[in-house]
Amino acid sequence: MSGIRFNEALQDEQQDQTSGLMRGLRKTRDILTADIRDLVASTRQIDDDVMEEIETRLLMADVGVETTRSVIDAVNRGIEVGQVSDVTSLIRALRDELVAKLTRYTHRLEIDSKHRPTSILMVGVNGAGKTTTTGKLAKRFQRQGYGVMLAAGDTFRAAAVEQLEEWGRRNHVEVLGQGTGADSASVSFDALSAAKARGTDVLIADTAGRLHTQGGLMDELTKIKRVMKKVDESAPTETLLVVDATQGQNALNQAREFHRAIDLTGLIVTKLDGTAKGGIIFAISHELGLPIRFIGVGESIDDLKEFKPKEFVHALLADSDNEEP
């Protein structure tokens, strides 16, 4: 393929990813931006009523009280010094402040080719989409040229092992497991041992869903991490919590308790396309100081996207699905 055609294909792919993100965040965007331009036009100025309305919308989107207050205060300072004087500068100021809140903690999940495998432990409550996300993540890394192995550590939920094995067959990724009822720590130990022996780039270990209030099951996650360290003292490289954005503030509670119990390194936020509470990302990031690694904005494999603060905030505050970043 010529350089020109390759660049065009890459641009088309990036455009498709951007438009997918825009569509996926439409419900939250409708809460944040609906009629803001009309509201400012009707008053002909950015007054206290306009700012109060914006504050209300940020709270409705579950951005969180502290983050919302900080953003509103910063925009008000811009109004006082004349930097924010119309709807365009208002939207720009909101974008800048929200991007700054997320960028502080955001950095990419890097695969270390000199230390194999990069081991990723997937945790979360039932129904957050953990096993599906594990499969999508495996495909993503595979497309990037990495060798991937999966560990079917969700040994309690009916058909969970079969579900992950189907992902493996579909994408030609090896899945190691011991069947329903097996010890999850043993599954992770064996899989990490095999991945290390074979020089596999990435091992992703699924685990059973559990409520953050179930002390015994949370202790089991600690055991899994301890057993993995017997194979590789740096394992797991990443401990990622998968949370369902439709849970709103409860997702923050889950993140808080999981982090306290097992020391998370990042989060994956799923089902953002099904909620108007996409602002929960700001609340989680602000309180826990954890990076959002990936977000899910739809059902397809391509709808699991690397989290990029600037693109995310633009999609939240754009006028339509078609607005360019």
Mean pLDDT to the nearest integer, 57-76: 91
Domain interval for residue 172? 118-308
Mean pLDDT of the chain: 85
Does the residue 108 lie in any domain?
no
Asked if pLDDT for residue 49 goes beyond 90, the answer is: no
In the three-class reduction of DSSP (H, G, I as helix; E, B as strand; rest coil), residue 135 is classed as helix
- Give the total number of structural domains in the chain: 2
- Looking at the fold, whether 280 and 157 belong to one and the same domain comes out as yes
Question: 168-216, pLDDT tens digit by residue?
Answer: 898 889 999 887 778 899 999 999 999 999 999 999 999 987 775 666 6
pLDDT(19) > 70: no
Residues 83 and 147 reside in one and the same domain: no
CA 57 to chain centre: 22
Kindly state whether residues 9 and 131 are assigned to the same domain.
Answer: no
Q: Report yes or no on 235 lying in a domain.
A: yes
Q: E strand or H helix at 209, and its extent?
A: none
- CATH for 159: 3.40.50.300
Structural domain includes residue 111: no
Cβ atoms of 205 and 122 closer than 8 Å: yes
Kindly state whether residues 240 and 128 are assigned to the same domain. yes
Do 92 and 210 fall into the same domain?
no
CATH code of the domain covering residue 72: 1.20.120.140
Give the C-alpha separation, 174 to 79, whole Å: 57
Q: Helix H segments across 44-201?
A: 48-60, 65-80, 87-103, 130-143, 160-171, 184-198
Q: Pick the closest to residue 207 from 279, 276, 258, 280 (CA basis).
A: 258
At 235-258, the pLDDT tens digits run: 999 999 999 998 988 899 999 989
322 within some domain: no
Do 127 and 33 fall into the same domain? no
Write out pLDDT tens, residues 290-307. 999 999 988 888 889 999
* Burial of 194: CB neighbours in 10 Å, binned 0-12, 13-18, 19+: middle
Whether residue 139 contacts residue 171, with contact meaning beta carbons closer than 8 Å, is answered with: yes
Residue 17: pLDDT over 60: no
Q: How confident is the model at residue 321 (pLDDT cuts 50, 70, 90)?
A: very low
**The pLDDT of residue 34:** 63
| pTM, rounded to two decimals | 0.86
